[in-house]
Structure 1
Amino acid sequence: MKVVTFFIVGLVVHVVFFISIFDIYFTSPLVHGMTPQHVPLPPPAKRLVLFVADGLRADSFYKPDVNGTIRAPFLRSIIEERGTWGISHTHVPTESRPGHVALIAGFYEDVSAVAKGWKENPVEFDSVFNESRHTWCWGSPDILPMFAKGASGDHVYTHTYPAQSEDFASKDASKLDTWVFDEVKAFFSSAKGNESLFSRLHEDRNVFFLHLLGIDTNGHAHRPMSTEYLENIMLVDAGVSEIVSLMEDFFGNDGQTSFLFTSDHGMTNWGSHGAGHPSETLTPLVAWGAGIQAAQRATEHPYQDQYQQEWKLDTLRRVDVNQADIAPLMSSLIGVPIPLNSVGVLPIKFLNNSPHFKAESLKANSLQILEQFKVKMTQKKETTLPFLFTPYPLLTGSKQQDFIRNAKSLIHTGQFDEAILLCVEMITQALEGLSYYHTYDRFFLGCSVVLGFAGWTSYVVLVILKTHASLRKPPGNRELMSDQGLGRVFMCMGLAITAFLLVQHSPWTYYIYCLLPVPVWYSVVKEIGTLLDLIHSAPSLPLCKCLGYFVLVTFGIELLVVSFFYRATLSVGFLVLGLWPLGSGLYVKAKTRSLTWFLSCLCLALFPLMPVVGREPNVHLVTCAAALTLFNTISYLVSARRLSPLPRKDRQLFVCQMVHVALCAYVLTSTHFSLRLKQGLPLFNQLVSWTTLVLSFFVPLLSSTRLFNRLMSILLSLVSTYLLLSTGYEALFPPVLSWLMFVWINIEQEAMSTGAFGKTELFRIDFSENIDITKIRQLKLDDIRRSYFFVFFIITAFFGTGNIASINSFDPASVYCFLTVFNPFVMGGLMMWKVLIPFVIVMCTFETIQVSTQLSSRSLFLIVLVISDLMALHFFFLVKDYGSWLDIGTSISHYVIVMSMTIFLMLLSIVTHILTSKRVSMGKKMKVHFK
């Protein structure tokens, strides 16, 4: 019962620590209750047309090809004659959803909002579409619905194609863009015969949004340098030209239409996006039509890059903007209020209007952002005790009034340039103030979580010393205070904290973070006697050896922390691990196994040195991985036959599994060959892939539960699935990892002082046999090393072939054997199972170590818990809420990995226990043996 209670308490504590980072670092920056700001002057345009070419890189669009030919001749002519061009610097994460939110709503979506939903609007925010009179949208079902659902009233109309159309294996993904252009043409054609629609189309403040996904899909499937990607740019350019001509004719060339062409994000050379590389953050922006400044000669070159010269545009004025700046630009052009949550700054260099209009528009922009600041400040002031509240010093109430009064005065007296400068300064101060109040409670909450972390780790250490170590008990009473008195002290502390939070009207989650350390530290203080036991036993302990282990484990933990940032550190760790038999004296006792251990460590050390992202598919390496797996299996069968005969059913099962491994290698090769010829995913290959995935959970249960027989069956089953999810060198990882795991099992027997089992006896261990509790031993110092080895191998299982925690590292080609139609949840699930496969291999090995060394799994787990929690505390201070999606995602994943490691491994241990110890007998009736 105590074990179950400890598990539940540990689970709750770790869940709280895990959730805390989202309350501390990733709360939504949005506030509500602001007043819309209107410009008192008439706008230059009645309607706006927004073209978004999803996944279009700036260099692919602007740069001529090797022959000097322009890929987008129509838009190039706009740049040279009729409009203004520049770079839209996208904020990260460079993904479609947050990119479109920045473009249309004017703010940068935080991680927590993205995590709540992809297609729909998980949080209420204002947008240009919502402020418009009518908005018509055509494009992807992944983007359009979130702007329609969040709009007030019923004035945002969406036209989307089926989600199945987004097929990475499509012969021609540009058909997605052709569909949009054809639908727009059909729409305007039908409007001529529909009096009601015709009337609405001629009203003011209308928006037309064309979302063009073909370029992004072709980039993912064929890479941005491919013919498909570049030809898609030409198709989009021709389509934009047709739509512009169509609209100008429809509206009688009234000169009251503004056009914007841009992209939500770029793309890396290997067909991914999400991070902050220039190829992902530099997107084109071309604007022309009503209210837009015509092309001008460049009088200066303020941008410190060589792009203009490469693009042959160095003679034309370039105007760069931040992506969120496009929302206030669109609002200004059609005369609607800037979206209430926008943090964009109106780029007045794009406007062809009077200085008065520019000043009034920028004043409305500054007041709109100032409104957000005032709401944020009021919210924080209401939830903070007066003597603890520190206002943002650069924008106090009096300074706000001075800003507003001076801006109005300058505009009234015709000093428009001075008014513009003042408004820009006010915007800068308001944005900094928003950030100040948004992170106001971060230090307070961080201290509470750290205090809880330290208390929990201290408690686990005391539990290990109390229940799993032989300590000498000192004579006399060890209690410093009665339990009743101690309880009263901590109860008073809890009540004081609760009263403090109640007075401040704190959110309910604050109570959890601040009150959790109270019972945790109460448990620590109650176990103070165990610490006294340790002190009393100190003279009898091997202090030098203890100190040596402490130094080595501390160094080892720091090595693991560094490996999260520099994977090559794992290679250094493997070299140290490979030399462990030499330093421990084990080499003298078992030279052959020590040499095999060193060679296997050396082979696995190569993987962290491999590239993480950007690798090209290489199915030949996958075939080599299959061959290596078959070689390992044959070697095992030969060895097993010599030491301990295999049951006939096991031999038959192994043969079937080996044939299946070869079939999976063929399916992968066949699939990639078919996709290269643009013939789609063969149905047979898809059926084999899904069948393999399902059977991988059940086939190992058909083998006997003898140690190596079951492990080999699990390996063959998992490798089959892993091959189908591989595109290159990572397919070699499970076979090499498994080799090292088998060697680890053997060498641990040599490391045992009593040598419980020989090599032959290892072959005869049965997972399903009941463990003799009388043989379970107490912890030794060497068990700390075993636990650390396990943590090291678990981290290697995750980072061995790259940090897949980032979206930027995801290659859609990894799941092409299963599906090619874009489905983020199914694809994510498949990639998650790919990640878990090396984990399962290590977990099965660790269970074998526990069985063969007669050690309680709980005692080893507690050591692993301490190691992982110390790493988690380290990463808590390294979490980021700024920078690229790669930076943010990596910092979160680091914390989440180590935070959830223990919980995850406990749950995974249940799965591995079933995989190793349960058996399904196939006879007249299927029977599951639980021994």
Structure 2
Amino acid sequence: MLLFFIVGLLVHFVFFASIFDIYFTSPLVHGMAPQFTPLPPPARRLVLIVADGLRADALYELDEKGNSRAPFIRNIIMHEGSWGISHTRVPTESRPGHVALIAGFYEDVSAVAKGWKENPVEFDSLFNQSKYTWSWGSPDILSMFAKDASGNHVFTYCYDADNEDFGAKDATKLDTWVFDNIKEFFHAARNNQSLFSKLNEDKVVFFLHLLGIDTNGHAHRPTSREYKDNIKLVDKGIKEIVSLLKEFYGNDEKTAFVFTSDHGMTDWGFHGAGHHSETFTPFVAWGAGVKYPQKASDQQFNDELLKGWKLEYWKRQDINQADIAPLMASLIGVPFPLNSVGILPVNYLNNTDVFKAESMYTNAKQILEQFKVKMTQKKEVTLPFLFTPFKYQVIQDLVTSLCTFPPRHFVGSLLAFALGIEVLVLSFFYRYMLTAGLIIFACWPFTTQLWTRAKNISMSWIFFCLLLAVFPLMPVVGRKPDIFLVMGAGLLVLLLSLFVVTSLIKTKDSFLNDQLLLHLFQMLSTVLSMWAVYSTHNSLLKKQGLPLTNQVVSWIILATSFVVPLLSPRNLLERLFSILVSSMSTYLLLSTGYEALFPLVLSCLMFVWIHMEQETLQQSGVSWKQKVTSIYFSYNTDITQFRQLCMDDIRRAYFLVFFLVIAFFGTGNIASINSFDLASVYCFLTVFSPFMMGALMLWKIFIPFVLVMCAFEAVQLTTQLSSKSLFLMVLVISDIMALHFFFLVKDYGSWLDIGTSISHYVIVMCLSIVLVFLNGLAQLLTTKKLRVYGQPKSHLI
């Protein structure tokens, strides 16, 4: 069994590592030949201005008085150039945004392990293909394009990174620094012959990275006065720089200008995802080689967005962000960036049809060159017989063979199993699928003879399935604390304990005193938990902090919850009930609302499940010797009692996986940090301690798992099912689910989307390993018996 576990662990580790080799390997290739248009370009130099974090609507809309925040840019749109919306892709962050603008390709998926500050591999860019590039702005952005540039022709002027302070009083200084330094640069160039000569070369690029708008947006939100005033400052600064360049170059009309943004920003001051406020950025181009304003078509004239911006008379030409790089390369006549996937937007070009055709042809050859290199590299690392074109006939043969599967009964069972797997997979995305699964479970007795043979148990099964089905429909994020629901859960536990104590008193058990004392102690723990929760809640409301007494009581209850169940008899129902009450005492301390009821309802369903499986086993003809009430947990189980597997065992294994998933997602979703509520640990500590708080919240998550596994220990015992057989069946189910999530792994989108898809795959891959751990913990809690000092050995059953 140990060897089997080690081999299985190794295989699944390889499966896990495979996603990084398949999904998160850089798509970039090297070795392509540069491609450029042989005709003379319209511009000798290009000025690229990127206003970091600028939303399209913030630039184009009018203010409360009907005036433009960017009058200079608006004048360009109306009289000098072309404009539109640049559509960015997620993740809408600064690094991938600027790489798309300047290099022409979207996020490199291998950056998943690098974060957002540095591109993971070398790449070609417009700056690298230029004769000279001068850039001003943030060191985080400028250094990316200067680091791997060939030759000494990309020059950067950066301010101190300490200036990028979201809490700074005046973030506009990040932009005024850029404008002031450009003015000083051109003033100095008049007295520097070497620099003056370089500035008058062809294929020159000037890059202005303006970070003030992004910084003000994070600090004050895009609806703030600071954000909007920063737009006015940028517009004024651009006007001054355009005037400066015209004067410096003698108004030779050989300068092309591009103004855009790397990403937008949400109303609450964040970016990274795919909301249109993050993906809609402005794009304005004018100068040499760029079309003049065009009249809007009838369709655009009726565009409500344009009407809101009062721009319905000027044609809007939207563009994909990666298409900007080939446009800029075409304007100044440099080779298209080698790694670019952008498509030249010819509608922006003011040139002959021959020039446009040649540029489009060059663009196609540049993209084809990447394909050729990629294919050559793949052939070199792939066995020849595996490198074959895809054949549609293979799919046809597979469908034909499947249409010819096996008997109807087998097909029906297989379809039901497949449907069950899909419900589990979908529950990772939509929690209400767990509700649908529990409703189907409630119908189980009607598909067998259970409804007629054990009507009371069947009714209980239906009731608790439907009651548990309510929890996945409850809200996860943003729920409000409700202390009365926690108190209600505690009262239900007390009533249940009182019922058990009353039942014990009616019996003439020789060990009555010990069991009675144990149950009374657990009832006292429940009462103390309720008191601690209520008292702590009131104390915090009064801003009096966490009372020391409450804190001590809470930690004592947590510590004893591990030990008290081990003092109870190993009788199946007695031990499970003891585990439930001890767990609930701790769970109440970690609850803030309706989730306090969840483990109680889940456990009730588990108790009914044990009885249902006993009835099912008798129905299937398997020999039965004992009733549930007379079965005892035993660590040294006789292996000869184990039986051969049957079809019902697949259902039992599926039930286990389903109940583990609902224990995981029943009241929350740990894939989102917002699902964690720090208020749930306030009975234990209120001073911020991430490791201690994290451990307590993890234990809260594990409690429902433990309850499910302890109940399944009873199912295994009553149905004589071996742990190894169970492990193999759960392994098959989890691997089928993992196969789904393997194909659902995302290498595009926001970092949250990518990370969530990876976490889903990891969770399912680790299910078998976690199951082994939980099985060992459940065996310890159900089979271990502590001896109280002075107790006779006969009491240790």
- Give the TM-score normalised by structure 2: 0.70
Residue in 1 aligned with 2:659? 793
Matches within 5 A, 1:490-529: none
Residue in 2 aligned with 1:849? 711
Task: Sort the Cα spacing of 1:604 and 1:835 in 2 relative to 1 into closer, same or farther, 3 A.
Answer: farther
**Is the counterpart of residue 210 in structure 1 residue 71 in structure 2?**
no
Residue in 2 aligned with 1:871? 737
Q: Which residue, out of 467, 481, 496, partners 1:639?
A: 496
SS in 1 for 2:172: helix
Amino acid at match of 1:748: W
Q: Which residue, out of 67, 81, 84, partners 2:82?
A: 84
Q: Residue by residue, what CA displacement relative to the aligned partner does 1:152-178 show, whole Å, maximum 9, x if unpaired? A: 567445546459955xxxxxx796853
Task: Sort the Cα spacing of 1:216 and 1:704 in 2 relative to 1 into closer, same or farther, 3 A.
Answer: farther
* Distance in 2 (alpha carbons) for counterparts of 1:252 and 1:357: 26
Task: Sort the Cα spacing of 1:105 and 1:783 in 2 relative to 1 into closer, same or farther, 3 A.
Answer: same
* Distance in 2 (alpha carbons) for counterparts of 1:197 and 1:588: 102
Q: Could you tell me how far 1:109 is from its partner in structure 2?
A: 2.6
Task: Sort the Cα spacing of 1:14 and 1:337 in 2 relative to 1 into closer, same or farther, 3 A.
Answer: same
Any conservation in 1 of the 2:80–2:287 contact (CA below 8 Å)? yes
Structure 1 or 2, whichever has the larger Rg, is 2
Matches within 5 A, 1:380-529: 380-383=378-381
Q: Could you tell me how far 1:832 is from its partner in structure 2?
A: 10
* Distance in 2 (alpha carbons) for counterparts of 1:911 and 1:134: 64
Task: Sort the Cα spacing of 1:348 and 1:161 in 2 relative to 1 into closer, same or farther, 3 A.
Answer: same
**Is the counterpart of residue 240 in structure 1 residue 104 in structure 2?**
no
Q: Could you tell me how far 1:194 is from its partner in structure 2?
A: 7.7
Task: Sort the Cα spacing of 1:15 and 1:604 in 2 relative to 1 into closer, same or farther, 3 A.
Answer: same
Residue in 2 aligned with 1:859? 725
Q: Which residue, out of 604, 609, 613, partners 1:748?
A: 609
Any conservation in 1 of the 2:44–2:332 contact (CA below 8 Å)? yes
SS in 1 for 2:608: helix
**What 5-or-longer segments of structure 2 have no aligned partner?**
399-406, 502-515, 567-575, 616-623, 681-687, 787-797
Residue in 2 aligned with 1:771? 635
Task: Sort the Cα spacing of 1:251 and 1:279 in 2 relative to 1 into closer, same or farther, 3 A.
Answer: closer
Q: Residue by residue, what CA displacement relative to the aligned partner does 1:665-691 show, whole Å, maximum 9, x if unpaired? A: 799999xxxxxxxxxxx9x99xx9xx9
Matches within 5 A, 1:691-840: 704-706=564-566, 732=594, 734-751=595-612, 752=614, 771-774=635-638, 777-778=642-643, 782-797=648-663, 840=702
My pick for the range that moved more, 234-243 or 870-879, is 870-879
* Distance in 1 (alpha carbons) for counterparts of 2:577 and 2:779: 15
Task: Sort the Cα spacing of 1:17 and 1:77 in 2 relative to 1 into closer, same or farther, 3 A.
Answer: same
Residue in 2 aligned with 1:370? 368
Any conservation in 1 of the 2:142–2:156 contact (CA below 8 Å)? no
* Distance in 1 (alpha carbons) for counterparts of 2:55 and 2:489: 46
Q: Residue by residue, what CA displacement relative to the aligned partner does 1:43-62 show, whole Å, maximum 9, x if unpaired? A: 625352332443x5545554
Q: Residue by residue, what CA displacement relative to the aligned partner does 1:187-206 show, whole Å, maximum 9, x if unpaired? A: 45776898899986983433
* Distance in 1 (alpha carbons) for counterparts of 2:294 and 2:599: 65
Q: Residue by residue, what CA displacement relative to the aligned partner does 1:688-740 show, whole Å, maximum 9, x if unpaired? A: 9xx99x999986776634555655665676787786xxxxxxx74x4353233
**Is the counterpart of residue 569 in structure 1 residue 433 in structure 2?**
yes
* Distance in 1 (alpha carbons) for counterparts of 2:373 and 2:49: 31
* Distance in 2 (alpha carbons) for counterparts of 1:699 and 1:182: 60
* Distance in 1 (alpha carbons) for counterparts of 2:285 and 2:325: 13
Q: Residue by residue, what CA displacement relative to the aligned partner does 1:719-776 show, whole Å, maximum 9, x if unpaired? A: 87786xxxxxxx74x43532332113321342335797878x99xx9xxx97232387
* Distance in 2 (alpha carbons) for counterparts of 1:347 and 1:380: 31
Q: Which residue, out of 88, 98, 101, partners 1:100?
A: 98
Q: Could you tell me how far 1:306 is from its partner in structure 2?
A: 4.7
Residue in 1 aligned with 2:174? 180
Q: Residue by residue, what CA displacement relative to the aligned partner does 1:440-493 show, whole Å, maximum 9, x if unpaired? A: 7999999xxx9xxxxxxxxxxxxxxxxxxxxxxxxxxxxxxxxxxxxxxxxxxx
Any conservation in 2 of the 1:259–1:287 contact (CA below 8 Å)? yes
* Distance in 1 (alpha carbons) for counterparts of 2:536 and 2:347: 58
* Distance in 1 (alpha carbons) for counterparts of 2:539 and 2:163: 26
Q: Residue by residue, what CA displacement relative to the aligned partner does 1:811-867 show, whole Å, maximum 9, x if unpaired? A: 77968999xxxxxxx9x9999999977862442123211443436544322221122
Task: Sort the Cα spacing of 1:718 and 1:117 in 2 relative to 1 into closer, same or farther, 3 A.
Answer: farther
Q: Residue by residue, what CA displacement relative to the aligned partner does 1:635-656 show, whole Å, maximum 9, x if unpaired? A: 3245335635458986786667
Residue in 1 aligned with 2:767? 901
SS in 1 for 2:480: helix
Any conservation in 2 of the 1:722–1:837 contact (CA below 8 Å)? no
Q: Could you tell me how far 1:212 is from its partner in structure 2?
A: 5.3
Task: Sort the Cα spacing of 1:270 and 1:236 in 2 relative to 1 into closer, same or farther, 3 A.
Answer: closer
* Distance in 1 (alpha carbons) for counterparts of 2:754 and 2:227: 31
Q: Could you tell me how far 1:239 is from its partner in structure 2?
A: 3.0
Q: Could you tell me how far 1:246 is from its partner in structure 2?
A: 4.8
Matches within 5 A, 1:261-272: 261-266=259-264
* Distance in 2 (alpha carbons) for counterparts of 1:919 and 1:78: 83
* Distance in 2 (alpha carbons) for counterparts of 1:304 and 1:668: 57
Q: Which residue, out of 622, 625, 628, partners 2:480?
A: 622
Residue in 1 aligned with 2:119? 121
Task: Sort the Cα spacing of 1:114 and 1:546 in 2 relative to 1 into closer, same or farther, 3 A.
Answer: closer
* Distance in 1 (alpha carbons) for counterparts of 2:260 and 2:314: 18
**What 5-or-longer segments of structure 1 have no aligned partner?**
167-172, 391-439, 451-542, 671-681, 724-730, 819-825, 921-931
Any conservation in 1 of the 2:46–2:206 contact (CA below 8 Å)? yes
Any conservation in 2 of the 1:165–1:176 contact (CA below 8 Å)? no
- Give the TM-score normalised by structure 1: 0.62
Matches within 5 A, 1:539-618: 552-561=416-425, 563=427, 567-580=431-444, 597-606=461-470, 608-609=472-473, 618=478
* Distance in 1 (alpha carbons) for counterparts of 2:785 and 2:157: 57
Q: Could you tell me how far 1:553 is from its partner in structure 2?
A: 3.7
Q: Could you tell me how far 1:83 is from its partner in structure 2?
A: 3.2
* Distance in 1 (alpha carbons) for counterparts of 2:484 and 2:667: 19
Any conservation in 2 of the 1:597–1:740 contact (CA below 8 Å)? no
Q: Residue by residue, what CA displacement relative to the aligned partner does 1:53-94 show, whole Å, maximum 9, x if unpaired? A: 43x554555455788665655543442334321122233455
Any conservation in 2 of the 1:102–1:324 contact (CA below 8 Å)? yes
SS in 2 for 1:784: helix
Matches within 5 A, 1:121-160: 121-131=119-129, 133-136=132-135, 138-139=137-138, 146-147=144-145, 149-152=147-150, 155-156=155-156, 158-159=158-159
Any conservation in 2 of the 1:180–1:210 contact (CA below 8 Å)? yes
* Distance in 1 (alpha carbons) for counterparts of 2:134 and 2:539: 47
Residue in 2 aligned with 1:345? 343
Q: Which residue, out of 318, 326, 334, partners 1:320?
A: 318
Matches within 5 A, 1:2-41: 3-24=1-22, 27-38=25-36, 41=40
Task: Sort the Cα spacing of 1:796 and 1:155 in 2 relative to 1 into closer, same or farther, 3 A.
Answer: farther
* Distance in 1 (alpha carbons) for counterparts of 2:306 and 2:205: 34
Q: Could you tell me how far 1:107 is from its partner in structure 2?
A: 1.0
SS in 2 for 1:286: strand
Amino acid at match of 2:661: I
Amino acid at match of 2:137: W
Q: Residue by residue, what CA displacement relative to the aligned partner does 1:548-601 show, whole Å, maximum 9, x if unpaired? A: 976754442344345566654332211122344565566778877765654443
Any conservation in 2 of the 1:258–1:289 contact (CA below 8 Å)? yes
Q: Could you tell me how far 1:375 is from its partner in structure 2?
A: 1.8
Task: Sort the Cα spacing of 1:373 and 1:192 in 2 relative to 1 into closer, same or farther, 3 A.
Answer: closer
Any conservation in 1 of the 2:435–2:473 contact (CA below 8 Å)? yes
Q: Could you tell me how far 1:315 is from its partner in structure 2?
A: 0.8
* Distance in 1 (alpha carbons) for counterparts of 2:357 and 2:538: 67
Percent identical among aligned pairs is: 44
Q: Could you tell me how far 1:244 is from its partner in structure 2?
A: 1.5
Q: Which residue, out of 299, 308, 311, partners 2:309?
A: 311
